[in-house]
Each structure stands twice: as structure tokens, then as C-alpha cells.
Structure 1
Amino acid sequence: MSLEPNTPLPNSLQKPLSRFYEYLRSEKGLSLHTQRNYKQQLETMAEHLVTLGLKDWRQVDAAWVRQLASKGMRDGMKASSIATRLSSLRSFFDFLVLRGEITANPAKGVSAPRKQRPLPKNLDVDEVGQLLDVNEDDPLSIRDRAMMEVMYGAGLRLAELVGINLKDVLSRQGEIRVIGKGDKERKAPFSGLAKEWVDKWLRVRGELASPGEDALFVSKLGTRISHRSVQRRMEEWGKKQSVASHISPHKL
């Protein structure tokens, strides 16, 4: 059975995959069943990355890999399944490093969720839509939806979300610059509904923001919104929309 990708991918993505499949067959001597498992895992991830604008495996960094893990959590995957997915990706990138096609493995710094700690119940697509059904005449509601679309769409941590400044919104590049753990800067994808609602928020932000405030998201006092304020607003929206008894950023 052929191990070529079922879904057409850009050559820059497909050819390295095809070389990897041949490597698994001829050099590693893996069973056809194992080869098929690799193929299924890698193509699922590749297809998702294409939807996010990826054109070359060399574009992948730890942020992209974290997004894949976040998508798995949102899709309700078990921690063990996410670990398998990340393991397949690490093996593929090890192959690319071995062949000199990339210099480092971006998946090595990303851990799967701990198996002994069940993930919280994530909102499904319908619940997210219900939660984000806001009044567009209210600047605070527009801000809340923009925050949740950015967090949901880019797989950001809460600290990364509240730390975004106006200058970090790179609309032309379709990216948002964020500061992660260890003060490491990375860029997260920014498009679709996230961009649409941030644009709406920017049109009304001046009604709330204090003069000279750099933060993208501000509180009703005009200063950078706090972690606790974001958590509280999400809980309020969850109760108001009867989506769940307790909504937190982790569920996005």
C-alpha cells in the first residue's frame, strides 16, 4: 500500500514526508502497521498546519507544535493520544535534522499533558459560539470576544494574552508577537475570527484606554487587564450564556 499523502499538500511539505516514509520502510524496517500510524499522525498535523498558513516544515517552531497540542485538547483527545502525536512529530523532525534539512527539532521542547491529570472538559464548537454571542454595541463585550477569539485561535496562555501590546499585532504578517515562559518571544498565527474581532475592538478601544496605554486589552479603568479580570469575565459569560457552571481560559 502506498504511503503517499492522501490529501494533496504543497511539495515543500509532501516531499519531506515521502522521504520519511521511505526511511521508515527501507532503513528502519518498521512494520506496515507502524508506518501507517506515522502516516496518519503526520498527515493530520500537516493538514492542520496548512490551514494555519504553513508552507514549509522549516517554518515550524515550538509555538506551532504547542498549537497542535492545544488543538488536540480542544478536540477532546486523550493525553496519551496527544503524546503519540507529538512522538510522531519528534521522530519526523529528528529525521529532518539527520538529513540536514533543519538545524533543530522544534518538537523536543513541547511536552504532552500529564497522563495522570485528566484535562478539563473543553468547550465544543457550538458552546464556544454560544459563549461568544455578544452585544456589539458594548465595548467591553467586544473586548471579551476579541480576547477569547485570540486565545482560542492561537492557543495562547493567559499570561501571553494579557501581555500583548498594540505593537505586537502584526496584521499584515498574520501574526501576533507574544512573550512566553522564560521571557522568550514567539509569534502566534493571527487570522480569521481573531483578526476580525481584534479589528472591531481596536475601533472602540479608545473609549476605554487611558492615554499612552500600550496594552492591547485594557480594563474599564483604562489600564492593562489583569489575569484575574479575564478569568472573572469568562466565568460571568459562562453563567450568563448557561454554557457551563465554570468557564476558565483553560477550557479555550
Structure 2
Amino acid sequence: MTQPAAQPQPLPDDLRAWLQHLEVERRLAPRTLVLYTEALRRLVRAAQAHPIELLQVQSHHVRRWAAQLHGQGLAPRSIAIVLAAWRGLYRWWGDNGRVTHNPVVGVRAPKAGRPLPKALSVDHAVALADHQPTDADPALRARDHCIVELLYGCGLRVGELVALDVRGSPQAAGWIDAEPADEATAHVLGKGSKRRSVPVGGAARTALAAWLALRGTLAKPDEPALLVSRRGTRITASQVRSRLKAIALQAGLPVHVHPHMLRHSFASHLLQSSGDLRAVQELLGHASIATTQVYTRLDFQHLAQVYDAAHPRARKRSG
């Protein structure tokens, strides 16, 4: 008989307090919180194996533990995330007078090559966006088509997509400004609680209008979310991933498609057509252009010209 998997030990209260600070005050993405929670569990295990109190950790301890993680086969990128979480924890403790120095400062993860993100070809991306989902409910078909168009047409992260509201408010994390109809804009709250505005191209505007016309048949009367589930409440990132995977299979795409692949495709196709690295950086909301340079190294042009003239979905194709 298979034994049930052991449940992870609960984190100490002071570590959970920091995670709550990140969630409530820093508004970190749920996925980042999951990664940071696992990083803190690694820290607790390492300190217990040493053994040493967390408040007494020194830099040589952190270097040893990072080396051990590397020896256990953890990828350099994952180690960098672990160290970022530890560094943030000790910085928070320092701000609150718990420690006098940050033992993680200066400790770096092993270097690793930075692979080009996986992106669809233009033909596959357009085939996916042109595909009409086969759900029997016309409202769900319109919603799913809108999801694909906004992910590929605006380069949104899945968390930014599901956070969109129908209209803006001081409490909204993001919203769609659909007026005037030919200049729709998505206002989103990205990483680091940084706001940015992204133009919504012609094909995405058409899909958005079709969904908004039917949204009321699904959404609960007081639901502010732009995209809702069958139950009439805000759709989740997990549901978006599941729907996108199903749509890609229906469209006959030969690869597994996830939301971030459409963001990569958005960036890659703009750069291939325009060469405006700065414009794509702004549209993606990257704090550093080095992040955008993963896609390619190209010359700079004007932001609006890039989006209107270069992106495969910026204008609805005729014929």
C-alpha cells in the first residue's frame, strides 16, 4: 500500500509573518510566494541540520548551504530564487532590528546560461488566436477567445490577465479601458507593484467586444472581474492554463501551450518585425532592458509605431 506523502512542517511564526508582509504589503504574485515559501523551508532545514539559530546565520553558512543545493542538483536559477528569498528575509529582519547585518549579501548563485524563452512561430500563434473554441456555451467560447487574444495581443502575464476588472477603481489591480472603441488600453499592475498601460490591438478589441456582449450571462451582478468562470466569479490562473492547453489541442498545435509562452511570442514577434527593444521592454514591463535582451539584440524605434505596424495581431487582418 502506498504511503501518503509527508506534509511539510509549518514554518515558524516570524517566517510566516514575512510571507504575509510580502503578500499583503508588497503584493507579490502567488507563484512567487510559493517559491519563497519553499526557499524558507530550505533555510529552516539547513539551519536545523547545522544546527544554528536563524538569527545567528553568517555568510559562510549561506555559501555552504548554496553549494550544498548546487551539489544536490538544484539549478542555478532555482538557487538564485532561494538566495533572493533569504536575502529579502534578512533585509526585513534588519529593518526591524532583529539582525545587525544581512548574511546573504554578496552570496551569488552559480552562473548559468540564459536560454531563449520558448515562443510559438507566427503561423502557430495566429492559428491559435484565429481558432474558435468549441465549448457549447457561446459565452465561454467568446471568453476563451478573448483570453487568447489578450495574452498574445498584449503580452500580459497570466496574473495580470486574471486581475483585470471591467472598469477602473482605486482598488483595482488592473482594468480594461475600452473607450474609445478604437483605442482600448489594458492597465495592469505588474511585478514590483509597477503599473503600465498596454494598447489593445484590433483583433483583441474585436474579441473583447464579443466577450463583453455576453459577459452578463455568466458574471454575477456584483462581480468586477473582466474574465469570469462558469460560476460567475473571477477566473483563476489555473483555469486559464487549463483552457489554453485545451484550445491549443483543438487548434492542432504540435506543442504544449501555456500563458507565458504567448507572452514570449508577443515579445519575440514584435522584435522580429520591428527591432525596437526599448518599446518591447516598456510593453512587457521589464525593469531592466537586460531581461528583454533575452529575446534578441536589435535597434530602437517608436513604441506606438511598433505596436500598430509590427505586431501580427495589432490590426485585424482583412480578407
Compute the TM-score of the two structures, normalised by the length of structure 1: 0.51
Match of 2:248 in 1: 238
Distance in 1 of aligned mates of 2:150 and 2:197? 13
Match of 2:147 in 1: 147
Q: Which runs of 5+ in 1 are unaligned?
A: 1-113
Alignment of 1:123 with 2:120, yes or no, is: yes
Change in Cα spacing, 1:226 to 1:174, as seen in structure 2 (3 Å) is same
Question: Residue by residue, what CA displacement relative to the aligned partner does 1:125-165 show, whole Å, maximum 9, x if unpaired?
Answer: 22123223115872212111111111111111111111110
Look at both structures and tell me which one has the larger radius of gyration over its CA atoms.
2
Q: Look up the SS of the partner of 2:164 in the other structure.
A: coil
Q: Look up the SS of the partner of 1:247 in the other structure.
A: coil
Q: Please tell me whether the aligned partners of residues 120 and 250 of structure 1 are also in contact (alpha carbons under 8 angstroms).
A: no
Distance in 1 of aligned mates of 2:245 and 2:112? 27
Match of 1:213 in 2: 223
Q: Look up the SS of the partner of 1:141 in the other structure.
A: helix
Distance in 2 of aligned mates of 1:117 and 1:206? 44
Compute the TM-score of the two structures, normalised by the length of structure 2: 0.41
Q: Look up the SS of the partner of 1:195 in the other structure.
A: helix
Match of 1:6 in 2: none
Letter in 2 for 1:124: S
Q: Look up the SS of the partner of 2:150 in the other structure.
A: helix
Change in Cα spacing, 1:237 to 1:115, as seen in structure 2 (3 Å) is farther
Question: Residue by residue, what CA displacement relative to the aligned partner does 1:104-139 show, whole Å, maximum 9, x if unpaired?
Answer: xxxxxxxxxx98232343122221232231158722
1:192-203 pair list within 5 angstroms = 192-203=202-213
Match of 2:159 in 1: 159
Match of 2:177 in 1: 170
1:1-252 pair list within 5 angstroms = 116-132=113-129, 133-135=131-133, 138-167=138-167, 168-171=175-178, 172=180, 173-252=183-262
Letter in 2 for 1:125: V
Distance in 2 of aligned mates of 1:178 and 1:236? 26
Distance in 1 of aligned mates of 2:228 and 2:116? 30
Letter in 2 for 1:141: R
Q: Look up the SS of the partner of 2:198 in the other structure.
A: strand
Distance in 2 of aligned mates of 1:177 and 1:217? 15
Count of aligned positions: 139
Question: Residue by residue, what CA displacement relative to the aligned partner does 1:169-218 show, whole Å, maximum 9, x if unpaired?
Answer: 21225311111112222211113111110000000111111111000011
Distance in 2 of aligned mates of 1:115 and 1:204? 47
Distance in 1 of aligned mates of 2:114 and 2:138? 38
Which runs of 4 or more aligned residues in structure 1 lie more than 3 Å from their structure 2 counterparts after TM superposition? none
Q: Percent identity?
A: 38
Distance in 2 of aligned mates of 1:128 and 1:177? 23
Distance in 2 of aligned mates of 1:116 and 1:161? 30
